[in-house]
Structure 1
Amino acid sequence: MTSALLEQSVVETPSSFRVLTGDRPTGRLHLGHYFGTLHNRIRLQRLGVEVMLIIADYQVLTDRDLAERLPEHVEDLVLDYLAAGFDPGRGTVFAHSAVPALNQLLLPFLSLVSTAELSRNPTVKDEIAHSRQAAVSGLMFTYPAHQAADILFCKANLVPVGQDQLPHLELTRTIARRFNDRYGKVFPEPAPMLSAAPLLLGTDGTKMSKSRGNAISLSATADETARLIKGAKTDVERHITYEPQRRPEVSSLVLLASLCQDRDPHEVAEEIGSGGAAALKRTVTSAVNEFLAPIRARRTELARDRRYLRQVLRVGNARANEIADSTLAEVRRAMRTVY
């Protein structure tokens, strides 16, 4: 099904879809996360799609020797989700480690893929190349099968992904298909919903990332935002244009302003014109701070009651466990391992 037809189907029959997506709890979410994935999750939920958000705490250990400040980061993710508009009454937020039955799917799933298929996965290759560890852990190697378990335990049939994540989802589809061929129909083959999300560069001109310190977090204050944008990399040309290939740093700032203002980036660039980098940064700062103001206000309000955040997580964990237990029971029946 093409992306256009899939989108049409989602709009017409949202209740026939279940989305599983999520994040690793390694720090607060930033504008790259918001415009890349978070706003689309909220859009889908508002359309009537059931959206499940997994906080992949076990996966933090794939490229780290230690999961530092994990409880704080998990709560911060819940806080960012809710502040951005995710409704826990209509969806589910849960922690990977809190759902034992989900992880039990990993063993039969690993029996369905070869070591060659795991090792040539592009995401694994990239993570290994940028790993902080002296040696690659077995958990890193099994990352694609883990992700398949994350998606298939709840029988998600729609997964929003970027182009670079398609190989991951294709392996999930392969695992579902092989399981069904071997044991009988249990799992759907989840469809990818390709994201048209724009690429936002960090303030240093490289990929926006929590670990690189070049991102504007959703929780940043107005002053922090102004300081980060003031130090953002531009180029020597004074006249501002939107040319992503030729002028990536300037164009990324123009794009950020246009996204926050819901305008065409060429129009934003033309308006700034000969004002130069200083005018560009003033425009971006104003646009970002105005856009984030309601999110920040909601986040500040929610942060006053950490017990509520933990309650959201407890309810989500319970819901995820119900689904996982049911799926695992079905898997055992299909595999004839009910004794």
Structure 2
Amino acid sequence: MTIAATPSLDHTPLLADEADVRAHPDRFRVLTGDRPTGELHLGHYFGTLHNRVRLQAMGVDTFVVIADYQVITDRDLPAGINRTVHGIVLDYLAAGLDPSRTTIFAHSSVPALNQLMLPFLALTSVAEMQRNPTVKEEAAAAGLTSISGLLLTYPVHQAADILFCHGNLVPVGADQLPHIEQARLVARRFNERFGDGQQLFRPPQGLLSATPALLGVDGRKMSKSRGNGISLRASEDHTAQLIRRTVTDSERHITYEPQRRPEVANLLLIGALCADVEPAELADQIGARGAAHLKAVVTDAVNDHLRPLRARRAELATDRGVVRDVLRSGAERANDIATNTLDDVQRALGMHY
């Protein structure tokens, strides 16, 4: 069957206006999340976690999904996924997410969310899913010679994540905008085909992160899968070891030139984010003292910045029931909303018996 694009009367722009979110936080609901494939690192902290806490403080209703089903899109289910999920929740709480204001839940705990995949798949062509850059990148990163059905449908699963709770604001990097576009397409097609003149789903908008992607210790993008990140839960000594291993270049004088000297610029950016200064200012402070001094300065900045988070995390870890309670309460709210959404969808499909 060919999925034909139907003209839409909805003109919601792809990107949300930050000023509008600040002025009217009650009009927005955020959906964001993580695959539990490893420990959260500095890239997550500055790229997503910090932003989630900021939106929460603004009064935006925030949902965070731990996408455990998506772990098996491109790999065998790893031993210890329970431990990984537990650690991620502790990182969330230590970073400032408040379960009384932010709903934290796991894919596998919300059956109605995953059931939305079926009607949404009927609105999406195989060619559209194959074109999604994340599907290609994840397959390449995992060294897959064939793509599983779950990985192929990953963009539609993400659409279900966003739309089950009527999320209309998704914080993303520029490379993730195709996922927002896919969710918008699903929302519009459902409204047009089954809505009978009603807008059941509002096309979501992206909110771009102001922080560029950070590089890992090997000079590639910091990633859980590559194991090249500076973990939020690492000890101060281990953090120092990781930063000493970070790739730089042969020039002694330190300058902030992201295009010409990406590795040095990345270290400067990490140090600047942690010390709350501009990267060029930090470069001027280091000057001709070289890469070793740069790494020492960045190590101190990272450890100083993460020290309160790590202390809070250690304190939370002493309560064996805190993670269970957070996930349980989050799943209860997510299930209530997902069940209502699925009920509305089934009514629109004429399948409410």
TM-score bin, normalised by smaller chain: over 0.9
Structure 2 equivalent of residue 93 of structure 1: 104
Unaligned stretches of 5+ residues in structure 1: none
For 2:204 and 2:130, how far apart are their aligned partners in 1?
Answer: 22
For 1:125 and 1:134, how far apart are their aligned partners in 2?
Answer: 11
Any conservation in 2 of the 1:25–1:74 contact (CA below 8 Å)?
yes
Structure 2 equivalent of residue 104 of structure 1: 115
Deviations 1:164-220 (A, max 9, x none): 111111011000000000111211100111122222111111111223232111001
Any conservation in 2 of the 1:56–1:95 contact (CA below 8 Å)?
yes
Structure 1 equivalent of residue 40 of structure 2: 29
Any conservation in 2 of the 1:65–1:133 contact (CA below 8 Å)?
no
Structure 2 equivalent of residue 207 of structure 1: 221
Structure 2 equivalent of residue 153 of structure 1: 164
- 3-state SS of the aligned residue for 1:182? helix
Any conservation in 2 of the 1:19–1:159 contact (CA below 8 Å)?
yes
Any conservation in 2 of the 1:144–1:168 contact (CA below 8 Å)?
yes
1:10-89 correspondence to structure 2 within 5 Å: 10-89=21-100
For 2:162 and 2:121, how far apart are their aligned partners in 1?
Answer: 15
Any conservation in 2 of the 1:166–1:192 contact (CA below 8 Å)?
yes
Structure 1 equivalent of residue 323 of structure 2: 309
- 3-state SS of the aligned residue for 2:123? coil
Deviations 1:126-147 (A, max 9, x none): 1122234453211011111111
1:1-339 correspondence to structure 2 within 5 Å: 6-184=17-195, 185-339=199-353
Shift of 1:26: 1.0
Any conservation in 2 of the 1:45–1:91 contact (CA below 8 Å)?
yes
Shift of 1:91: 1.1
TM-score by structure 2 length? 0.94
For 2:156 and 2:212, how far apart are their aligned partners in 1?
Answer: 28
- Following TM superposition, the consecutive aligned residue runs of length 4 or more in structure 1 with deviations greater than 6 angstroms are 1-5
Shift of 1:66: 2.2
Shift of 1:5: 6.7
Going from structure 1 to structure 2, the CA distance change for 1:5 and 1:17 (only over 3 Å counts) comes to: closer
For 1:38 and 1:16, how far apart are their aligned partners in 2?
Answer: 21
- 3-state SS of the aligned residue for 2:142? coil
Deviations 1:17-42 (A, max 9, x none): 10000000111100011111110011
- 3-state SS of the aligned residue for 1:306? coil
TM-score by structure 1 length? 0.97
- 3-state SS of the aligned residue for 2:321? helix
For 2:43 and 2:14, how far apart are their aligned partners in 1?
Answer: 22
Shift of 1:109: 0.3
Going from structure 1 to structure 2, the CA distance change for 1:111 and 1:4 (only over 3 Å counts) comes to: closer
Deviations 1:24-78 (A, max 9, x none): 0111100011111110011000000011000000000000022331111111111
Any conservation in 2 of the 1:222–1:289 contact (CA below 8 Å)?
yes
Q: Report how many aligned residue pairs link the two structures.
A: 339
Shift of 1:233: 1.2
Going from structure 1 to structure 2, the CA distance change for 1:173 and 1:134 (only over 3 Å counts) comes to: same
For 1:72 and 1:213, how far apart are their aligned partners in 2?
Answer: 17
For 1:328 and 1:262, how far apart are their aligned partners in 2?
Answer: 45
For 1:213 and 1:12, how far apart are their aligned partners in 2?
Answer: 39
Any conservation in 1 of the 2:13–2:205 contact (CA below 8 Å)?
no
Amino acid at match of 1:124: V
Unaligned stretches of 5+ residues in structure 2: 1-11
- 3-state SS of the aligned residue for 2:255? coil
Deviations 1:281-302 (A, max 9, x none): 1100110000000000000001
Any conservation in 2 of the 1:20–1:51 contact (CA below 8 Å)?
yes
Any conservation in 1 of the 2:15–2:205 contact (CA below 8 Å)?
no
Any conservation in 2 of the 1:27–1:76 contact (CA below 8 Å)?
no
- 3-state SS of the aligned residue for 1:73? helix
